[in-house]
Structures are given as structure tokens and as C-alpha cells.
Structure 1
């Protein structure tokens, strides 16, 4: 197991992952595109494997999946850090770009590929899901 650390843009929020990601995926849902202006590389981790310090702000909305998704971000710099879903309370999504070493992970799948813009560069070597995949076991 590799411990991973990260932080927001301004450093006011830092986090630690003490478990391996259950999945590492590039998400092309419209919400991630709004947050990242592109696809977003996300880690799916057990909620109890993530700890953080600092204050988070939250924004909740109903996603295209029908789930209530709460996105957590730094109130100072606005960096989006984590997300949690009403349908999957035992998991957290961690934005890979906030890792201190984002090269320590490798995406294995494109999800919500049906929402990707025509110019998106989807690696054909990665598994592809048109919408939301089932959670890993």
C-alpha cells in the first residue's frame, strides 16, 4: 500500500489516502467537464481511507445518474477536492490533480464517455463505459 498525500491550490486543505484506490477513472460527465473544463481523473476510495485537515465548503446537486452528489472544495482557492454520492456513502471521489504525485496513479477507464465532446482524446487502450459504471467490489 502506498500512502498518498495532496492539497488544494493554496494549501489551506491537505489530505492523506491510506488505502489503494478502488478505481482510477477519467470522468467525462458534464459536471466534471464544468469543474475541470475537460475530463477529470478521479480516484474512488473507501471513505475511511481518506483523511483531511482544513475547512471544506460543499455544493450538492442531483447528477445525471440521479444520485445526490456533494462536491467538496476549498473555500479559499476554490479547488475541487472530493465528492460523495448519496447512493454510495462508503466511497469518496478524490480529484487526482490534487495529489502531490499524480503520476503515482494510472487511469484504467473512461466513464460517461457518451458525454465526451467530439475533440476529447479518449485512450482506446482504456476500458470505456458510456455512463456510470457499477461500483467495484
Structure 2
């Protein structure tokens, strides 16, 4: 499938519409992502901010990540489903959680990042581009 992409949280209280293709797609194994993904990675699609329309009540939390950037996670204020994340280093991009998108979106991770933090039991697709820590910013995100 190609843009536009649409999605919603578990309760339907937060919806998203995206009018662009992702800048990149990534599977993240950092410890923070493992905590929000019940021990596994998060699977993410990074889009330009101006291509995203979000409706619904969201809550957020922020922390300084191992990269040194402040990361902010937004989630549905009602059901807690993770919606997106954004970094202080790239305010013009948003990282949408692939689970937020409606079925049939056709996106898949192109890279696995923060592999230094992956547990020993993790199975990482050998076809993915691999980064032990934070990769360079996506081409558009320079």
C-alpha cells in the first residue's frame, strides 16, 4: 500500500492520517522501546510532521535517551496505546508506531537499530540494515 496511511489506537479515541511515504522505517531495540513493547522492539515509520494529522486526546512523557536527545512519547490518554515519538534533534519528523496504522499498510522495518541493547534471545532479520546504536539521521532529517 502507499500513502495515504490511516490508523487508530485500541479504543479509537486517537486517529491518524498521513499523506506521505515514510522517510524511513526502523525496528528499535533500545531499552526504552523494549520497556514499552513488553520486551521486544518497537516497529516504527518516520514521517514528515507536516504530512500527519492526529485527532484525539493524547498524553506524553519525555526523557533523555542514550543518544543524548530528548525523546517524547505520545500515547492515547484513554487506552494507553502508543501513537508516536519525536526527538529534540529532529522536530520536523514524527516516529509513528506501525501498530497504530490500520491493517494492510504494507510497511516493514528496513533497519534494526540499537542492537547493542537487544536481548540475547532476540531474532533480528538478517536482511535488515543493522546499527549497534543510533544510526545517522534519515536523509530528509539532516
User: In which range does the TM-score fall when normalised by the shorter chain?
Assistant: over 0.9
Instruction: Within 5 Å, give how 1:122-137 maps onto structure 2.
Output: 122-137=124-139
**Cα deviation per residue 1:83-110 (whole Å; 9 max; x = unaligned)?**
1111110110000011102551021110
Q: 1:64 aligns with which of 57, 66, 72?
A: 66
Distance 1:42 1:84 in 2: 11
Map 1:1-137 → 2, pairs under 5 A: 1-37=2-38, 38-101=40-103, 103-137=105-139
Q: Give the TM-score of the pair, scaled to structure 1.
A: 0.96
- Specify every segment of 5 or more residues in structure 2 that has no aligned partner in the other structure, as ranges: none
- Structure 1: which 4+ aligned runs deviate by more than 4 Å? none
Q: 1:112 to 1:23 in 2, by over 3 A?
A: same
SS at match of 1:32: helix
Distance, in Å, in 2 between the alignment partners of 1:87 and 1:3 is 26
TM-score normalized with structure 2 length:
0.93
Contact kept in structure 1, 2:28 and 2:43, CA below 8 Å? yes
Contact kept? 1:73, 1:79, Cα under 8 Å: yes
Q: Distance in 1 between matches of 2:105 and 2:113?
A: 20
Does the 8 A contact of 2:113 with 2:130 survive in 1? yes
Partner SS state of residue 88, structure 1:
coil
Q: Secondary structure at the match of 1:114?
A: helix
Q: Deviations over 1:10-64 (max 9, x none)?
A: 1000001111001111000101100011111001111111111111111011111
Stretch moving more, 103-112 or 77-86? 103-112
